[in-house]
Structures are given as structure tokens and as C-alpha cells.
Amino acid sequence: MAQGKLPPGQRWVERPIVYDIAAVPPVDLATFRLRLHGAVAEPVDLSWAAISALPHERVVRDFHCVTAWSVRSVAWEGVLTSELIKLVQPDADVRWVLARGRDGYTTSVPYDGFSRPDSLVAVRMNDAVLPPEHGFPLRLVIPSLYAWKSAKYLDAIEFRRDLSRGFWESRGYHDRGDPSLEERFREGAA
């Protein structure tokens, strides 16, 4: 979807609306780890220092929520998912990624969305440290998909051959979630 083009069924708002499934969990950056595991050649647990040492990029994309709001040109900064892919070398038959947050939230992301050149693990949002309500210290950001695929409070990424539905997917939300196709709910689940 082209930057600045409103997907069907959406309306522009000034800033992202905050949704959480639980209280924002505390974090100690000295002991924080991002676990990358599953169907990979090399599982890795990254410390905050290791994440900070990886190359960081800035990506500006519109951000679309399944509840019908969109925000123009959100600036995200962090580690591109392509860098994480290089670290762990997923098996050739990986088709899904299951992202998990410290609050217990999970979401299943198609590997082809996770591996896009504009997908990243963000540490900054709109030129400031990622705010707690938007996922501090890490948020998976998949701009090509609805925002529920951009897991907040990220602490694990599992590379999978098969689909393991996350929090909203298990409640009938679409497995892919492409805003340009209005993939809000799975067929027969709504």
C-alpha cells in the first residue's frame, strides 16, 4: 500500500490509540533479553546492549489499526527484521513468526510480512525513545499489516513452519491482516 493512501474502511487520526491486553509490564534493561528461536540454525538471546549494537534504521510508514483508524507517517527506528533473520538463519520452510510480548500477548505474522524490507523491531517512535504505552523497550513493527501484528513489549520471536495463532487470531481475526484487502477477520470466524 502506498504511503499516505488510506486503506478501505479506515479514517485518519492524529496519533495511535493505545490498546493493551494487560497492565504494562515493568522491565529492567540490565537483564532484558530478546529471544529468537524456533526453526532456525542458530537460536539467540539478545541483551539490550547487543540489540543496541546492531545496525539501526529509520522507517516512516502509515500505521493502520483493525478498529478502522490510521495514522500518517509514523517514524520508527530500530533493527530491521532482515538483520535478525541474518543472525538466526531460519530454515527454508519457515512460513510464520510468532511474536510474544512481556504482557503475555502473542501474534502470528506471515514470514513474508516479517521479512519485508520495512519491517523492524523498533526502539524509537517519532524521534523519541519508544514510549511505555507503545511497547518500551521493543516493539515489532510490520507496516504492511494491521497494527495488532506489531506486538508491543516484545521479548520473543519464534520462527515456525506452521501457523500458531496468537491472541487476536485465535479470536477470529485474520491470519494475515492486510489493510489494503480489509483482512480484518478470518472467513467464517466473524
For the chain, list the domains and their CATH numbers: 55-181 (3.90.420.10)
Long-range contacts (CB closer than 8 Å, 24 or more residues apart) made by 21-29: 21/103, 21/104, 21/105, 21/167, 22/103, 22/104, 22/105, 23/103, 24/103, 24/132, 24/133, 24/153, 25/101, 25/102, 25/103, 25/153, 27/102, 27/136, 27/137, 27/153, 29/137
User: Looking at residue 187, what is its pLDDT?
Assistant: 84
* Per-residue pLDDT reduced to its tens digit, 102-137: 999 999 999 999 999 999 999 999 999 999 999 999
Q: Is 159 helix (H, G, I), strand (E, B) or coil?
A: strand
Whether pTM exceeds 0.85: yes
User: Looking at residue 22, what is its pLDDT?
Assistant: 85
Please count the CA atoms within 13 angstroms of the CA of 141 that sit on its side-chain side: 32
Determine the residue type at 61: R
Q: Which residues of the chain have pLDDT under 70?
A: 1-4, 189-190
